[in-house]
């Protein structure tokens, strides 16, 4: 206020301020303006999240995820940066990935949701399971329209995590050395599967199951350690060379690639403290972008699947399909195992109950009341 009065007085008396005084005043003003700009810049400095995917570098899955992460800075106006890493780059395995996000070493992860069934039993119902909902849109309906997303977030919060949303990936299919034309052909088959509920249902049909990392599947098939292997879809399995060590591919009925893991979901999960520290507008941006990315990821993989199946056929591989009768029998055997897993804890049961209600609705019609009569644990 005093400075303004002095300047005003000098103007009123028609006195010209000395040049040195003017420069000094200008310099102070410039310094003040610079400090203000610096402070504004600090207030809006970019938040950087380190996010590790379970995709290996060089795969179509990681390329897609990396492109999406790289676009976040521009979409957020420079306020949020996603620095992505491929599998094992920071956390060496699934357990350390989970712990790294909980502790804040990483701010986020892009896993297959089913990985956490040993830590979060409910997660076995956050991706498809044997004879459950088998269409991608059904999972989006349950997550975004029937309260499953909100319930999932409640569960993950107990672990210091925030489940942003599901990411559609693909179905899992089986490659085998010998033809599998029906459920009867599973008897005695040495089969690689993920374990858990999936393994238990295959065992119910007489298959001998083993769990192993994806990187071990090709040599196991080549050596004859296993007769068949489930893994992801045609696009990735072609790149892994499965056609070189197997001759047959097993699908479900027309329109259903798989009856045991038809919608193998991934997700984006982040550290809860990191999420809560984010501006609500940026939180909404991340949620919206996950839904957009989910569609892009799924559609790109499906296009690659179509191209890969032509390559498999040209290489001489034969496709077999299970019948609708096989699906009905598969579901009959699977239902008691559903309830076994649903009753592991109250959170698993809460998620499962949403899905049973949906599957029993006439718009879906997968199960009826008669299918559940006498099921243990119901």
Binding residues for substrate: 172, 192, 230, 261
**What are the backbone dihedrals phi and psi of residue 70, each rounded to the nearest 5 degrees, phi first?**
-65, -20
C-alpha dihedral, 302 to 308 to 312 to 315, nearest 10°: 170
Q: For residue 110, what are its two tokens?
A: 């892009």
- Sheet (strand 173-176) strand order: 208-210, 190-192, 228-231, 173-176, 248-251, 318-321
Query: Which residues sit in the known binding site for Na(+)?
Result: 231
DSSP state, residue 125: G
User: How far does Cα 46 stand from its chain's mean position?
Assistant: 25
| Structural contact between residues 330 and 183, judged by C-beta atoms closer than 8 angstroms | yes
Alpha helices in the chain, H assignment, sequence order: 2-12, 19-43, 60-70, 72-75, 94-103, 136-145, 148-157, 196-204, 217-223, 234-239, 272-276, 280-314, 324-342, 346-360, 369-372
| Structural contact between residues 264 and 193, judged by C-beta atoms closer than 8 angstroms | no
Query: Which residues sit in the known binding site?
Result: 172, 192, 230-231, 261
Instruction: Give me the count of residues in the chain.
Output: 378
Query: If DSSP codes are grouped into helix, strand and coil, which group holds residue 172?
Result: coil
Which position has the token pair 């990936």?
169
User: How far does Cα 148 stand from its chain's mean position?
Assistant: 15
Tell how many helices (H) and how many strands (E) occur in the chain. 15, 11
């Amino acid at each position: 206020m005093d400075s303004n009065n002095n300047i005003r007085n000098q103007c009123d008396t028609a006195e010209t301020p000395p040049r040195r005084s003017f420069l000094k005043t200008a310099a102070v003003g410039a310094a003040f303006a610079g400090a203000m700009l610096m402070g504004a810049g600090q207030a809006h400095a970019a938040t950087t999240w380190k996010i590790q995917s379970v995709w290996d570098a060089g795969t179509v899955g990681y390329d897609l995820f990396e492109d999406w992460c790289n676009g976040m800075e521009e979409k957020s106006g420079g306020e949020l940066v996603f620095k992505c890493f491929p599998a094992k780059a920071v956390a060496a395995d699934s357990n350390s990935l989970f712990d790294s996000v909980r502790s804040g070493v990483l701010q986020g992860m892009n896993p297959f949701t089913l990985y956490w069934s040993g830590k979060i039993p409910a997660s076995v119902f956050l991706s498809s399971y044997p004879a459950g909902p088998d269409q991608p849109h059904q999972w989006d309906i349950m997550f975004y329209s029937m309260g499953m997303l909100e319930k999932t977030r409640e569960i993950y919060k107990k672990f210091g995590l925030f489940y942003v949303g599901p990411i559609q990936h693909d179905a899992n299919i089986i490659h085998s050395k010998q033809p599998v034309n029906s459920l009867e052909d599973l008897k005695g088959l040495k089969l690689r599967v993920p374990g858990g509920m999936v393994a238990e249902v295959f065992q119910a049909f007489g298959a001998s199951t083993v769990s192993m990392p994806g990187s071990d599947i090709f040599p196991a098939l080549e050596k004859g350690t296993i007769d068949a292997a489930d893994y992801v879809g045609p696009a990735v399995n072609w790149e892994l060379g499965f056609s070189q060590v197997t001759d047959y591919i097993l699908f479900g009925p027309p329109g259903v690639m798989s009856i045991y893991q038809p919608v193998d979901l991934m997700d984006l999960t982040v550290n809860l403290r990191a999420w809560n520290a984010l501006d609500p507008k940026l939180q909404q941006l991340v949620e919206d972008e996950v839904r957009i990315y989910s569609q892009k990821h799924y559609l790109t993989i499906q296009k690659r699947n179509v191209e890969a199946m032509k390559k498999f056929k040209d290489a001489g591989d034969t496709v077999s399909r299970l019948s609708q009768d096989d699906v009905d029998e598969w579901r009959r055997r699977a239902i008691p195992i559903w309830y076994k897993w649903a009753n592991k804890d109250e959170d698993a049961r809460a998620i499962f109950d949403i899905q049973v209600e949906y599957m029993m609705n006439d718009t879906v019609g997968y199960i009826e009341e008669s299918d559940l009569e006498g099921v243990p644990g119901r």
